[in-house]
Amino acid sequence: MDTVYDVAIVGAGPAGSAAALRVRQLRPEARVLLLDAATFPRDKTCGDGVAAPVFDLLAALGAPGLEELSPPVPRLRLRTPTGRVVDRFCARPNRVIPRLVLDAALVEAALRHGAELRRHRVRRMDVRADRVVLDGEIAARVVIGADGANSAVRRLLGPPVTPPDATAVAIRGYTPHDLGRSALMIEYAQGDHPAYAWSFPLPGGGANVGYGVFDRRGSESRQAFLEQLHRLLPGQEPDPDTVRGHHLPLSNGPRLHPDGRVLLAGDAAATVNPLTGEGIYDAVASGALAGQAALEGAAAGTVHRRAMHRAFGRHHRHSGALARLMARPRFLDAAIAAAGAHQSVFDAAVDLGLARGTVPPVAFALVLARLRPF
């Protein structure tokens, strides 16, 4: 343990790779170690949708051109249980890139910029006055936990208990069939808890399909989820060998950003959007902020917490409030109807659900106006 890294990053997905890129961007001589339990390329359970603003963040971090991994998907289509539909072109096209491909490209970018990669599963963490020691063998001045929803780093920090309504549960699979090459498709479900099925067209044909519920209390068996997927998207049955389940820590629950030399980013920091389940934008953005804060040493935790509040505080308040309203069928119908009638409402909804947007008062008023006829 003679080497003391400037930053050790646990987890080499979008949050971890973004953190590594930011550290090396700000301090090219810094020693940065990426740790991951998997060998890349590796699959990751996800909807694979990547919002257009993600590529702006990555380009600013020194990883441009990753949008070329997939053709553009220009439209977004949403349908409520009562049949209300909005199908519009997004202001900028989004992409669908399997995590097998995207995460490997991000790791390669981090390595190209000077980070080191080691296969290692973290089990123990010793926080000392001048460093953090992982498993008695890896020392760093600051550690960033970017190791996903089941984060070992977060668990070792002793996090607050996450309530059921701040945890989404979903299944994902791949089907050789797709419903349309030009649209991300979402079908909302009826039930006691907010839920939807999705179909996102893949670059080589077929689609990423899945079904998720935005409250752990609404979690059912894998078979029940598959039945819901079949009901909402008939003909889109996934290959059984590709079906995986996962859970998502939503940003409307408790978020942990402690003081000191250990930071959290991405799913480990519970940044997943409670409206959509989108997490890649938040992972890259929070990872970059963690990488910047990591250079502050013992003050890193305080700096990161304040940076996250400045960057995400208003967005989290708005997305959390809208998530509660969208759980009401009448409000969901009104929102979809308003988005269908007004491009400005649609654009605001996309920005709020896929990036870091907030609710414009005019757009909210247009949604409320649609409540009256019901």
Asked if residue 301 lies in contact with residue 259, where contact means CB atoms within 8 angstroms, the answer is yes
Q: Write the DSSP symbol of residue 209.
A: E
- Cα separation, 359 vs 317, in Å, equals 10
**pLDDT computed for residue 159 by the predictor:** 83
Q: How remote is the C-alpha of 171 from its chain's centroid?
A: 15
Q: Where are the domains of the chain?
A: 4-73+95-163+253-319
* Number of residues in the chain: 374
In 3D, which of 202, 201, 199, 229 has the Cα closest to residue 213? 229
Residue-level pLDDT at 373:
56
Say which DSSP state 163 is in. Answer: P
**β-sheet bridge partners, residue 195:** 213
Per-residue pLDDT in tens (0 to 9) along the chain, 374 residues:
679 999 999 999 999 999 999 999 999 999 999 999 999 999 999 999 999 999 999 999 999 999 999 999 999 999 999 999 999 999 999 999 999 999 999 999 999 999 999 999 999 999 999 999 999 999 999 999 999 999 999 999 988 888 899 999 999 999 998 776 789 999 999 999 999 999 999 998 999 999 999 999 988 899 999 999 999 999 999 999 999 999 999 999 887 888 999 999 999 999 999 999 999 999 999 999 999 999 999 999 999 999 999 999 999 999 999 999 999 999 999 999 999 999 999 999 999 999 999 999 999 999 999 986 54
SS3 126: strand
Backbone angles phi, psi at 21, to 5 degrees: -60, -40
Fold of 4-73+95-163+253-319: FAD/NAD(P)-binding domain (3.50.50)
**Angle at which helices 329-341 and 300-326 cross, to 10°:** 100
Tell me the C-alpha distance between 357 and 235, whole Å: 34
Pairing of strands 85-96, 73-79: antiparallel
Residues 115, 95, 272, 168: is their CA dihedral positive or negative? negative
- What per-residue confidence (pLDDT) applies to 372? 67
Which pTM does this prediction carry? 0.96
State the pLDDT at residue 1: 64
